[in-house]
Amino acid sequence: MIQTAIGRRYAKALFELLTPADIGPAKAALRMLAEAFVTSNEFRNLLVSPIFAREQKASVIEKLAARAGCPTMGQRFLAHVVSKNRIAQIREISEAFSDLADRSSNRTAVEVSSARPLSEEDCRAISMRLEQITKRSVDLTARVDPALIGGLEIRIHSTVYDGTVRGQLERMRAALMKI
């Protein structure tokens, strides 16, 4: 809870510093850095290790952000995050910044998971229906997860709509366990 509040505060500060043209590149760079932080043990250890000075960590982050196309103000912001020892919250900052960017452009990110790959026609139909429901433009990302067996799992921000066979079986199991 506290990490999310910190992430929102930092994301809001960065959002207010950037021009509208810089928001998209900053969003992409933050997402890339957050993903690297979560998936790469070496990268995460470098950033949280007390062995390396904060200046070294800030230099690494600035160079990676520049390579990812982050605007100069975003690079300086990330160096500041490192200097305040808050880089461990990069994922929360990235998610909160994405939410702010999406709200400002009347867009929403949606992740759809299915057991098999969705066709372009299916993706368009799902996007159109979600745009009607959310009253926003939808940035749809389709994922394949064979464990779902069938159906769809739709994630809009932190809300998950589970229409999968696996989800239905789990709900039936839970209901039977109550009996």
Mean per-residue pLDDT pooled into runs of 10, the chain (179 residues): 80 90 91 91 89 88 89 90 89 90 84 92 92 88 88 87 88 89
How far is Cα 46 from Cα 43, in angstroms, rounded to an integer? 5
pLDDT confidence of residue 154: 92
Strands (E), the chain: 107-114, 137-144, 151-156, 159-164
Question: Where does CATH 1.10.520.20 sit in the chain?
Answer: 2-103
Lookup result for tokens 């759809």? 112
Q: Give residue 148's pLDDT.
A: 85
Residue 1 is predicted with a pLDDT of 58
Q: The domain 2-103: what is its CATH number? A: 1.10.520.20
Distance CA 26, CA 75 (A): 9
- How many C-alpha atoms does 71 have within 13 Å on its Cβ side? 15
